[in-house]
Amino acid sequence: MKMAMRAFLLLNALTLALSIPDLPIRPPKKEEIMMRTQDGTYLHTLIYFPRDYEDGQALKLPTVMDRSPYGYGDMEWITELFMPFGYVAVGQDMRGTEKSEGNFSMWHSDASDSTDLGRLDHPPELEQR
């Protein structure tokens, strides 16, 4: 009896799943910029916005930022963890690594570069190349 009930429920679930139309899933909006620091060095920065974000939307959104010497070509983990909750995800190559300019010096310039990254919420101060 239990086996027949399980088979019946599984069959109904499969029928329901197959009858649901495929809904288009919009990929997140992605911006790739070279952010200018205070000393003129350009750092490679990827910015991912939530799927429901529209260009020009004047919103202050929560943001999670990560800086790494290993590159951000594959930022899936940060976007999958935080974007469903409405966060903006920002990843940046540290100075002198991957696509960023400058010389890598084991975190000597990290404090000032992190401060510059925090200026992303003030577009007039942000210089892009």
Report domain extents, the chain.
Answer: 29-125
Mean local confidence (pLDDT), 81-89: 83
pTM above 0.85, yes or no: no
Check if the beta carbon of residue 13 is closer than 8 Å to that of residue 24: no
Mean local confidence (pLDDT), 78-94: 83
Res 34: pLDDT: 93
Res 129: pLDDT: 47
Res 14: pLDDT: 55
Q: Is 126 exposed, middle or buried (0-12, 13-18, 19+ CB in 10 A)?
A: middle
Q: Class assignment of domain 29-125?
A: alpha beta
Query: 51-73: b or e for each residue (b if 16 or more CB lie within 10 Å)?
Result: eebeeeeeeeeebbbebeeebbe
